[in-house]
Chain A
Amino acid sequence: MAKPTIEFKDGKKIVTYPSGEKREHTKANLTTAKQMFLKRREKIDEQIALIDDHIKKIG
């Protein structure tokens, strides 16, 4: 099965896809993507805490 290949060079993550397309990711790109997931996790944790509180109040 064809899979993308990943290499790290020149301060970048370079992904080559089976179609031959290449995508480069800088440290800034990846940090922003990480931030995106952290923000989502933060909100999900908040919603879970609220539901836990409601479950506790139901008894």
Chain B
Amino acid sequence: MRSKKEGFEMDHIKHQKKNRIITRVNEITTEGGLPKTGQTMSYQFGDDGTYQMGYPLGGGQRFIDNGDGTITDMVTGLMWVKDFQIAGFGMTMYWYDAINACENLVFAGHDDWRMPNINELMSIVDHSRYDPAWDPMIFGYPVDQWTPFWSSTICAPWTDGAWCLYPYDGYKTNYGRPWDMCYVRPVRGGQA
């Protein structure tokens, strides 16, 4: 059993840690930052669910449905195609074809759509969900949970591959650009 003295010391350490976190927040000011992962459940003190770090702060609404088949992410500033099947992306494609299809897309009055990079693609993953690992009310259901979504980012140690993401749980992996076929969700905007 823990003595009263030990308990006091533990509380003291926790207090110091809290101060350190507050200092850090005060020292770094930024207009943006990493999005929350979506995990709100805490399985053990110190895990993601404990701190729930990231944007939006408070319980602010993150995704805005623009009502024209697009979604705006208030954290990253990116605009996503809401239902990629309606935009004509309901089939798997080779990476090269997927890039071209995004570049040639004219949708919701915009013609500057592109294939998302891997960081952008991962930014919409909600780690509190699976099957799919995003809010289906916002981003719809994937056609096939076992086929990943392409990103425009090449795998550095194996340039035959591009990074992609499984819609089932947000697992990041790489598929072969010349021979594998995946889905794609076009994006536009963001920081250049």
The interface of chain A, by Cβ under 8 A from chain B, is 2, 4, 17-19, 21, 32, 36, 39-40, 43, 47, 50-51
Within 8 Å CB of A4, what residues of B? 43
Which residues from chain B contact A36 at a C-beta distance below 8 Å? 146, 166, 168-169, 171
B45 at the interface (CB under 8 A from A): yes
Is B61's beta carbon under 8 Å from chain A?
Answer: no
The number of chain B residues with a CB under 8 A from chain A is 19
Rounded to whole angstroms, the CA-CA distance of A1 and B175 in the bound complex is 39
Q: Considering only CB atoms, which chain B residue lies closest to A44 in the complex?
A: B173
- Asked if B176 is at the interface (CB within 8 A of a chain A CB), the reply is yes
Q: A39-B146, A40-B173, A47-B176 are in contact. Are A19 and B44 (CB under 8 A)?
A: yes
**With A36-B168, A39-B146 as given contacts, are A19 and B42 in contact (CB-CB < 8 Å)?**
yes
The prevalent SS among residues of B at the interface is: loop
A47 x B161 contact (CB < 8 A): yes
- For the A-B complex, the count of residue pairs with Cβ-Cβ distances under 8 Å equals 34
Q: In the bound complex, what is the Cα–Cα distance between A17 and B169 (angstroms)?
A: 21
- B148 shortest CB reach to chain A, Å: 9
Q: How far is the CA of A50 from the CA of B177 in the complex (A)?
A: 13
Q: Name the B residues within 8 Å of A47 (CB-CB).
A: 158, 161, 174, 176
Give a binary string over B133-166; 1 marks a CB under 8 Å from any A CB, 0 the rest.
0000000000000100000000000101100001
B contact set with A: CB distance below 8 Å = 41-45, 131, 146, 158, 160-161, 166, 168-169, 171, 173-176, 179
Majority-rule SS of A interface residues: helix
Chain A residues closer than 8 Å to B44, beta-carbon distance? 2, 17-19
Which of A21, A39, A51 is within 8 Å of B42, CB to CB? A21
Tell me whether B175 and A40 are in contact (CB under 8 A).
no
Contact A21–B41 (Cβ < 8 Å)? yes
Residues of chain A lying within 8 A (CB to CB) of residue B160 = 50
Out of B43, B166, B169, B175, name the residue touching A19 (CB < 8 Å).
B43
Contact B43 A17 (CB under 8 A): yes
Q: List 5 A-B contacts (CB under 8 A).
A: A17-B44, A21-B43, A40-B173, A43-B175, A50-B176
Name the residue of chain A whose CB is nearest to the CB of B41: A21
The answer for the CA separation of A4 and B43 in the assembled complex, in Å, is: 9
